[in-house]
Amino acid sequence: MTVKNLGGANLKKIAMVLVTILLINSKLTFIAYADPTSGAPTLSSEAAILLDQKTGQVLYDKNSTAQMYPASLTKIATAIYAIEKGNLDDIVTVSSKARNVEGTRVYLAEGEQISLKKLLQGLLINSGNDAGIAIAEHLDGSVRNFSKNINEYLKTEIGVQDTNFVNPHGLFDPNHVTTAEDMARITQYAMKNETFREIMSIKELDWTGEAWSTTLYNHHKLMREIPYEGVTGGKTGYVDQSGQTLVTTAERGNLSLIAVTLKGNTQTEAYNDTIELLDFGFENFKTTQIVKGKKFESEDGVPFLATKNLNYTQMKTGDVKLEVTNDGTLTVVQSNEALNTSFQLKEVKQNTAVASSKASSPDRDQEQIPFTSNISFYFFMLIIVLGVFGMVYTRVLKR
């Protein structure tokens, strides 16, 4: 492409034309932004994903649909399932099976009675496998029934299709699998729940049980030991077969992110990968909201409005335009086509009574013109009559 040299006057004319086009075409909104792909993270973990929590937009992925072993990330699904199905005030009796499960525990005693909410705290903060078994048995009678029901819940309520859990805690089983994308979607769904968000964000908690009294500390290092600005929650996981697994949620300004890494070789690699993902997200993206009630017009002038707040992800610099078709589809078109998204708007029906009233108003105005003229005529005639009457009356008096 050949670029001709443009003089200052020509540049001013072009600028004026562009500004005029932007002002006239109210159906399109333009914002500037740049392609950040050159700065995309290089990760050591075998699978990873970065998600905009509000919009669900994938900002980065690496093998995100490959089925892998989640380890204790499973407990995120167990927690939201229990919160939505159970009663937090329920008192749970701990079984022998829960008491004797291997791995990380909160050292529940057999026969101990404890609230479901406290079990959820032990599950998420200290990654208690015994708490997971106790929850599963309380909700569904057995781990087997729990597994069947939670898999159905994950498919029907959350919509993930590549996850199969056979226990509530994530200890290794060759059939216990998920994907980075599924884990991000499960976390996104769970973070909409206030109780889940509250427990997920706890950094430390005093714990008093029959067999163990201590302070529980969240295992996620970005929550405490190496704090990352904006982190709102996280869950760690590890078994030999899964490697290091990590889910992290973070928020700065209007952007909320979910980062998932699976099968890191070491903790250091998993945390470095997570920090790279979050840095990449916060440096390059933002969430933009179209407020409920905002009006739009299609190219043919058909009016539409947003019936709820609509969020979409965009890069911080570059081109974004909003296009509305005659069927009410609002499409957010961006330079990075992967960020394109669509919403359905509601058509605004014109009030026929008002339209009819407006249409007939000119006729009424025409009727008012002679009416006003008649008033003036009658007033003028009255003055003449009074004048004549006055003259006659004066002559009669003189006689």
Q: DSSP states of 156-222 as a string?
A: III---S-B-SSSS----TT-BB-HHHHHHHHHHHTTSHHHHHHHT--EEEEE-SS-EEEEE-S-GG
- Rounded CA separation 305/383 (Å): 59
Quick check: helix, strand or coil at residue 264? Answer: strand
Of the residues 54, 62, 64, 72, only one is catalytic, namely: 72
Quick check: helix, strand or coil at residue 251? Answer: strand
- 98-111 burial: b if 16+ Cβ within 10 Å, else e: bbebebbbbbbeee
Q: How far is CA 214 from the centre of its chain?
A: 37
Per the annotation, the verdict on 75 as an active-site residue is yes
Q: Which of 214, 42, 244 is nearest to 122 (CA)?
A: 214
- Is residue 173 a contact partner of residue 166, using CB atoms and an 8 Å limit? yes
- Rounded CA separation 285/336 (Å): 12
Of the residues 45, 64, 95, 127, only one is catalytic, namely: 127
Per the annotation, the verdict on 342 as an active-site residue is no
Distances (CA, A) of 54 to 112, 188, 230, 331, 374: 40, 8, 15, 18, 67
Per the annotation, the verdict on 361 as an active-site residue is no
Of the residues 54, 62, 75, 221, only one is catalytic, namely: 75
How deeply is 373 buried, as exposed, middle or buried, from its count of CB atoms within 10 A (0-12, 13-18, 19+)? exposed
- Residues annotated as catalytic (active site), given as ranges: 72, 75, 127
